[in-house]
Chain A
Amino acid sequence: QVQLQESGPGLLKPAETLSLTCSVSGGSISSSYWSWIRQSPGKGLEYIGYIYYSGSTNYNPSLQSRVTISLDTSKTQFSLKLTSVTAADTAVYYCARLEQQLVHGLGYYCMDVWGKGTTVTVSS
């Protein structure tokens, strides 16, 4: 069964670049969508974006100018980079599998497997 684990620095200074990695185990990375979500007290759960195993990406327009999601199939990992961080980027960051579930011929996307989350604090 697929498991996800986030890793990366927990403390950043303003203007630095946030870099997180999600390691995928128990399944293939080469057949699904892989996403990042963050959760802060102020903004709740926020979709950051996803990457498909083919390399195509989708980003939240609110973060698009600062975010990059990439995939390393050889390492079964995918990564998040967020540039020019501020205190507003302080949050718990989750990686999740974004799976398409077929119901009566319709495809529904849902985040069915989540990592445990990693806390990132931006402070000078």
Chain B
Amino acid sequence: DIQMTQSPSSLSASVGDRVTIPCRASQSVSTYLNWYQQKPGKAPRLLIYGASTLESGVPSRFSGSGSGTDFTLTISSLQPEDFATYYCQHSYMTPYTFGQGTKLEIK
């Protein structure tokens, strides 16, 4: 299985900050990388697929980049509703695996 690593597991930031959340794959997944946002008690929400394509309805302050093994989710200006846990997931081959998540907390 391809292992997805997200470090750090938590990150503190303030409203208005620019934040980058990294994700690394144990082998190349090309651009077959998705990002999800999850809030407590809720299901994950798709933000980005194909490493950089924004899902419909997702605010443009979210962006994704990377290919191969290293990827980044960037939030250009944090809003109060963005404090959540973010997961990367590859779709290069089955089994699709998720990272352990990065929890974005208010500083």
Chain A interfacial positions (CB closer than 8 Å to B): 44-47, 58, 60-62, 94, 96, 101, 103, 106, 108-112, 114-117
Whether B83 is near chain A, meaning CB under 8 Å from some CB there, is: no
Q: Is the Cβ of B95 less than 8 Å from the Cβ of A111?
A: no
Q: Jot down 30 A-B pairs with beta carbons below 8 A, ordered by A.
A: A44-B87, A44-B98, A44-B100, A45-B89, A45-B101, A47-B94, A47-B95, A47-B96, A47-B98, A58-B94, A96-B43, A101-B50, A101-B53, A108-B31, A108-B34, A108-B91, A109-B32, A109-B91, A110-B34, A110-B46, A110-B55, A110-B89, A111-B36, A111-B44, A112-B49, A112-B55, A114-B44, A114-B45, A115-B43, A116-B43
Q: Which residues of B contact A94 (CB under 8 A)?
A: 43-44
Q: Is the Cβ of A103 less than 8 Å from the Cβ of B45?
A: no
Q: Which residues of B contact A108 (CB under 8 A)?
A: 31-32, 34, 49-50, 53, 91
How does the 8 Å CB contact mask read for B53-65 relative to A, with 1 for contact and 0 for none? 1010000000000
Whether B14 is near chain A, meaning CB under 8 Å from some CB there, is: no
